[in-house]
Amino acid sequence: MARAMGTTKKKSMTTTSQAETDAKEEFLCYCCGEKKKKTLFYTSTDPFNGVGITPFCKLCIEKIARNYNERSGIYGEVTKTSLCEALERIDSPYLESVWESSYNEVHNPDLKKPKTNIWSAYIKNIRMPHHNGLRWRDGDIFHNNSQSPSSKSSVNTEANSETLDSLEQNRKDVIRLIGYDPFEKEAPEDQPLLYAQLIGYIDGDGNNDDMTRILDCIEIVRGYLQLQKINDMSARAFATLAKTGQSGEIKNYMDTKKKLADVISQLAEQSCISQKHNKNTKKGENTWTGKIKMLKDLNLREAENNGFDIGTCRGMQQVLEISDSSIMKQLALDESEWSDMVAEQRQKIVDLQSQRDIYKEINRILLRENIDLRDVLAENDLLDASNLQNLKQLFSAFAEIEKDDADDTDLIEDESGEVDADE
């Protein structure tokens, strides 16, 4: 009995001395180059790691995962790319299920004590007992034949550039219209949607004196952003419902979504923003479509599409000729194809000439009636000359055609005359 107690006491003393040794022992961080205590490093899952800790300290890994800005000293948002960069350095796996649960721990509005960032939630969850022994190579990106988030991000570089350009333009427009930046402190990944939606609510003519309405629009835009995030979380919850069986979580999402939708609807109704309650019937009148609609409502003839001027435009004719010439050079037709094409063209010419004769007679009758009607209106002082088409200008296109035909005729006569003289 005494011997057993002595053995236990000896083991306890050994354990205590080992803990004291670990507390005093310092290791070098490969990132910052500083010597730190062993407790400031994550435990390594590599069986060939004799030290038992990762080569990077906890603080440096957190900076990588949270996109720390050395110049400003501010942590950014945790993305899948930054998370994978941190996990690879500490030889821990990336698991999509752990990412989703960590995301919910941060963004779920029903949690009493949510996590401050996704990294703290993820590193806690990945260190659970049922994940012991898993290494970086055991992650989903290796076993699901999926690409790493970092490789996916490189594919979308051009799209991200366009998004940034659009974001900057929308931000400038918002500041110009309302006088300040309402989303300056919002998360960078949320700003493109916020600015784009707000532009659709405020008037483009600068008539934004009603600040109550502007503030309501800002809150509505923020509400729609929250709705989108809740939809994303509920979609992930539905996808993992078979594994987790947490239907209560989905119910909470639906309840929160309904409350947000009711608030947005009330704000839109109070500020007369929605189409149903909008008292301003002139919404969109400053757009190009609105201006065209206004001109058509006034029954202005100048607002109608003038297809005749477009068809007789010299520039359009030159473009058509160049296009036809290019097509003919590319075709390289043989004799049989030429004969078939000529026969088809001949038939089309006959049909078009027949139609031309019909429309020519119709045009003659309408022109005669038009001139008679003008004379009657002029005699009764009912003719508005400013709203009439100049007939000489209208028929000038036919005059040019006749002139070209006359020039060709003169040329033929001159050539024939020279021949006669020689004879």
Same domain, 123 and 101: yes
Quick: pLDDT tens for 107-141. 877 777 788 889 999 999 898 888 888 888 888 88
- Residue 27 has phi, psi (to 5 degrees) of -130, 155
Q: Are residues 41 and 117 in the same domain?
A: yes
Same domain, 151 and 67: yes
260-287 pLDDT per residue, tens: 888 888 888 877 776 555 555 455 566 6
Q: How many domains does one find in the chain?
A: 3
Pairwise CA distance, residues 30 & 304, whole Å = 73
pLDDT value of residue 131 = 82
- In this structure, the dihedral spanned by the alpha carbons of residues 257, 258, 262 and 265, taken in order and rounded to 10 degrees, is 60
Point out the domain boundary residue: 103, 136, 155: 155
Q: From residue 158, how far is each of 80, 148, 153 by CA, in Å?
A: 19, 18, 10
**Domain shared by 399 and 354, yes or no:** yes
- Residue 41 pLDDT: 92
Would 278 be classed as within a structural domain?
A: no
Please report the pLDDT score of residue 153 as a whole number: 45
Which among 296, 294, 299, 291 has a CA at the least distance from the CA of 387? 299
- Tell whether 133 and 167 lie within a shared domain: no
- pLDDT at position 63, please? 93
Do 166 and 254 reside in the same domain of the chain?
A: yes
- DSSP for 90-124, please give it: TT----HHHHHHHHHHHH-TT-SS--SSHHHHHHH
Is residue 290 included in any domain, yes or no?
no
Q: Select from 222, 255, 270 the last residue of a domain.
A: 270
Q: Examine residue 421 and state whether it is found in any structural domain, yes or no.
A: no
- Sign of the torsion formed by the C-alpha atoms of 389, 392, 397 and 398: positive
87 within 8 A of 56, measured Cβ to Cβ:
no
Q: Write down the pLDDT at residue 150.
A: 47
- What pLDDT score does 417 carry? 46
Cα separation values, 403 from 251, 308, 364, 410, Å: 82, 20, 21, 10
Query: Looking at the domain assignment, is residue 199 inside a domain?
Result: yes
Final residue belonging to a domain, choices 127, 155, 183: 155
Residue 42 lies in a domain: yes
**pLDDT confidence of residue 318:** 81
Per-residue confidence (pLDDT) for residue 155, from 0 to 100: 39
Q: Do 176 and 143 share a domain, yes or no?
A: no
Domain match, 240 and 319 both: no
Q: Are residues 68 and 109 in the same domain?
A: yes
Looking at the domain assignment, is residue 297 inside a domain? no
The parts of the chain modelled with pLDDT lower than 70 are 1-23, 144-163, 203-209, 240-248, 274-290, 296, 298-313, 396-423
| Domain contains 72 | yes
**333 touches 340 (CB < 8 A):** no
- Asked if residue 362 and residue 239 are part of one domain, the reply reads no
Amino acid at 283: K
User: Under a CB-based contact definition with an 8 Å cutoff, are residues 26 and 35 in contact?
Assistant: yes
Strand pairing class (41-43; 35-37): unpaired
Closest CA to 257 of 211, 281, 284, 225: 225
Contacts of residue 316, defined as CB under 8 A and 6 or more positions apart, other chains included, come to: 310
Does residue 97 share a domain with residue 62? yes
The pLDDT assigned to 415 comes to 45
Please report whether residue 243 resides in a domain.
yes
> Are 265 and 325 part of one and the same domain?
no
Helix 191-201 to helix 157-178 angle (10° resolution) is 40
The residue segments making up the domain with residue 41 are 16-155
DSSP assignment string, 224-281: HHHHHHHHHHHHHHHHTHHHH--HHHHHHHHHHHHHHHHHHHHHHHHTT-STTT---T
Whole-model pTM: value is: 0.35
